[in-house]
Amino acid sequence: MAKFRAPGRVNIIGEHTDYNDGFVLPFAIDRYVEAEIEIDSQFVFSSQMMDETIVLRKYERLGKWTDYLMGVIHAIDQKGYDVPPVRISVTSTLPTGAGLSSSAALETAVAYGLSKIMNLELEKKELVEIAVKAEREFVGVKCGVMDQFTCVFARRNHAIFLDTSDLSYEYVPLNIENFEFALIDSNTKHELSSSEYNKRRKECEEVLKILKKKSFKEVSYEDLRCLERTLRKRAKHVLDENNRVSVAVKALKSFDISLLGNLLYESHMSLRNLYEVSCEETDFIVDFLKKSGNVAGARMIGGGFGGSVLILTRRGYIEDVFEKLAKDYFKAFEKKPNLIKIKSSDGVNMCGA
C-alpha cells in the first residue's frame, strides 16, 4: 500500500475570479489530505474524518464524500484507462468547511496516487483536468480550476500567479520576510453557501450574455453602465479583483507589505459590498483585525458565508491579537474561532518520497 498526499491552499487574492477566467494568486499550505491506495477485489473507501468505511461494487453516486473518489476513478476511466477496484483510506490535517480546498486536495491526491500505482505517467495538467472533471461532472459542483491547479503545481515559498483562462502561470516568491500569513477559522458555515455560490456564477454568466462578451477580460468599466444594479456590482467586483491580483504580484516582488495588506482589506470590502458573499462573522473578524493596528491586511477567503479569514501580520504578533479577538468573538456569537498557523508547501507527492 502506497500513501500520497496533497496540500490545502490559500488564495492571497483573486476571489470568485477563477470561474470567471480571471487572475488568482494562491499558494499551498502545510496541511494535507493523505490517501493510502492499493489494488483490491472491490472498491473500499474509508475515511478517518467521517469515521466510516463504504464498499462499492460499481460506479455509484451516493451524495457523500465517496463521490470525490469515485469521480476521479471515473474521470481516469474516461481517458481510456481501466482502473481496477481499489482500497483507499483517507486521513487529513485540513479542517473541512474552512475554505482551504479539502475536496481538491482529496481529488488530486487520489488522481496522483492512481497514476503512480497504475504506471500511467500522467502529466500535471492531466491530473488537474481529472480532478476538476471529477468535481464538476461526477460530484456536481461547478468549481473553478484554481484549487486543483494549486494542489498539483504548488512550490514551497512561492505563490502562483495563475491566469485561469489559459492556465498560464508564474511562480512568485513569497517575499514577506518578517511578516507571515495565518488563518482564523470562523467556525461558521451558513446553509445558503452552495446556493448563493451557484447564483453568483449565473449572475456573472448573465453579465457576459447581456454584454455579448466571451470573457470578463473583454469587459470595460464603461460596459457596466448598461447593467442593472445587482449585475453591475458583481461585474465591478470581478474587474476590480483582477486588477488587485496584478498589483499584488508587483507588491510581493517589491516587498511592499503595506500595499499588499491594503489590497487584502479592499478585496474583503468588495466581497462584502459588491459580490455580497461575506457574513456577519467574517466581517466581525476583519473589522476587529483592521482596528487592532497590528495586522497589515485581512480578508475572507473561499466561497463565502463562513469559512476562514486570511491574515497578513508581522511575525510574532498574531497570538496576542487572536487572544483578544477570540474573547470579543465569543461574546458576539457564542462560538470560538480557531487560529491556524500556516507555512507554504509543495504540491501533491508520494509520502516519504
Which residue numbers are catalytic? 147
- Give the single-character DSSP code of 22: -
Site of grid cell 481496477: 84
Assess contact for 8 and 108: CB atoms under 8 A.
no
Using CA atoms, how far residue 51 sits from 65, 87, 139, in Å, is: 12, 16, 21
Tell whether the torsion through CA atoms of 64, 66, 69 and 74 is positive or negative.
Answer: negative
Other residues' Cβ atoms within 10 Å of the Cβ of residue 125: 12
* DSSP code string of 158-200: EEEEEETTTTEEEEEE---TTEEEEEEEEEEE-TTHHHHHHHH
**Is the dihedral angle over the CA atoms 69, 51, 346, 162 positive or is it negative?**
positive
Choose among 333, 332, 341: nearest CA to 313. 341
Residues 6 or more apart in contact with residue 116 via CB below 8 angstroms: 2, 4, 350
How many angstroms separate the Cα of 275 from the Cα of each of 177, 200, 305?
32, 8, 11
